[in-house]
Structures are given as C-alpha cells and as structure tokens.
Amino acid sequence: MPDLGLPDVTLHYEVIGNGPPLMLVAGMLSDSASWAPLIPFLSDHFTLICPDNRTTGRTFPQDAPASPKIWAEDALALLSHLGHETCHVVGHSLGGYIAWAMASLAPDRMQSCTMVASAPLSLFRNMDLFRSLVAIRRSDAPPDTWLRVFLPWIFTPEFYQTPGAIDAAIAQSLAYPHAQSADAMAHQLTAVAMADPALFQARPDVPMQAILAEKDLLIPLDLARQALNGIPTEVVSGCGHAPHWDAPDQVARAIKRFTDSY
C-alpha cells in the first residue's frame, strides 16, 4: 500500500501493470478503486498510476486543503516521486477537471489528456444535488438512502431493469472499507467550488480527447460538446455517467487508440 508524504497530506496511490505510464484520476466521491472495471483492459498496455485524491480513500487527513489546483499539484508531485518526467492522464468526471488543471499547470509533463464523462463546465444543478446528498447523509435517514437518490444519476434505466443489480451495487458501496465520509464529501464539494476559473479558460497545449456517454445525466452530451469547444470526442452509446463501468472495453480501446498516437 504505497503512500507519498507531502507537506500537509499523505497521498495513497496504487501502481499496476507494465508499459508507458498512464495516470487514472478518479471523479467526485470516488477513489482509485473506482477504476477496477477498466484496469484489466489497460494493465497489459500501461503502467497505471491511480491516486486517491485528497478527501477520498486512504489519503489522509481528509480535511486537508483541497481544490482542483491542489489536486493537480498532488498528481504532478506523485509523477515526480515515481520518476516519470511525463505520462498520459485519464480523468473521470471531476478527475477530468483535475486532468485539465494538470495540463494547464504543466503541459510539458503530459503526453495526452483524456476526459471521461467530463468537460470544463460547472452546473449549479449538480452542485445542488451533491449538497442534498450531504444533507441526507448527515440526517437520520437509513445509510442507503443517499445512494438510492444518487445512483439513478450514474446508472441507466436499463441497469435498473436487471433484478437485484441496484441492491448489489448499494451493498457493495456500503461495505467498501475506505468509503468517503459525509464530512469528507462536504469538504470535497467545497473544494470543487474553489476552482480557479483561470485554469479552465483556455484549452491547454496538450493532445486532448473526451470520451462522453450518450445517456449521461450529470454531464449532458450537448453541454459537454459545447464546453469542449472542438476537442475531439468519442461517444459511448447506451452508457450513463460511468462509461468505464458500463463499457470498459470500449473506453479502453478509445484510450489506447488515442495514446498510441503520442
């Protein structure tokens, strides 16, 4: 269980596979474990570097200062710690935001940037949803309530048609030993709101692509394309906000095809 000691936080990370380095940056409420469905499709092609962002997983303390810029600086520090001058970066949702920030701060250190179900936009509706989830978790509601409110935003209606699928997903989430606490979730949400607009005003000088999901409710396809402003996109049909769970083989092929060009 490798850790990197930084001045104000101990950053947990995992390294898996063989090949050129590719960093996988997790999204909101998630940590390195969220990449599990994708790893078998990439680990024979890349050395995968998977950090737990501040406020998540086994990175402590979870109330340390955080913002997209700080998350990006942590990721770049980890890259240096592991002895890599450059790497490819893939970020899901908030992780795509962080990857964009990395590219803005240090374009010379990124061979390519892939944003999965992500775009440089901030939707007040999503922020309100996450605030409501925090309120539910801090209430006397049963511990599965917030997940039952949140997961329809992640999974497609077709997923719910599979008998027992949603109950199994909720049980797995509740059993995860490194799950984000309500306080850490609230801190992460505050950190997202502290994003420096200057990091996202111009397209970074890095090869970029976006892998978008046809049925994404959190990052709707049309709004994402508009915000990406000409960045090449690939749409995964039939998927919700987590295409690397719904169609990991397709996402992996798109990542390999793009990174092999750089």
Q: Is residue 148 part of a domain?
A: no
* DSSP state string for 88-140: EEEEETHHHHHHHHHHHH-GGGEEEEEEES--S---HHHHHHHHHHHHHHTTT
What is the pLDDT at residue 171?
Answer: 98
In a domain, 30, yes or no: yes
Say if 154 falls within a structural domain: no
Q: What is the pLDDT of residue 214?
A: 98
- Give the residue ranges of DSSP H helices in the chain: 39-42, 68-81, 94-105, 124-137, 145-150, 157-161, 165-175, 182-193, 221-228, 243-246, 248-259
169 within a domain of the structure (yes/no):
no
**Is 188 domain-assigned?**
no
Give the C-alpha distances (Å, rounded to integers) separating 71 from 42, 51, 90, 149: 23, 10, 14, 27
Per-residue pLDDT of the chain (262 residues; tens, 9 = 90+): 699 999 999 999 999 999 999 999 999 999 999 999 999 999 999 999 999 999 999 999 999 999 999 999 999 999 999 999 999 999 999 999 999 999 999 999 999 999 999 999 989 999 999 999 999 999 999 999 999 999 999 999 999 999 999 999 999 999 999 999 999 999 999 999 888 888 898 999 999 999 999 999 999 999 999 999 999 999 999 999 999 999 999 999 999 999 999 9
**Of 44, 128, 34, which is closest to residue 90 (Cα–Cα)?**
34
Split into its structural domains, the chain has a count of: 1
User: CATH number, domain at 8?
Assistant: 3.40.50.1820
pTM score, whole prediction: 0.97
Report how far residue 164's alpha carbon sits from residue 220's, in angstroms, rounded to the nearest whole number: 27
pLDDT at 199 (0 to 100) = 86
Q: Any residues with CB less than 8 A from the CB of 71 and at least 6 apart, and which?
A: 25, 53, 54, 98, 101, 191
Count the Cβ atoms, other than its own, within 10 Å of residue 173: 16
pLDDT computed for residue 1 by the predictor = 66
The domain in which residue 51 lies consists of 3-123+195-259
Q: Domain for residue 158, yes or no?
A: no
| 161 domain-assigned | no
Q: Is residue 155 part of a domain?
A: no
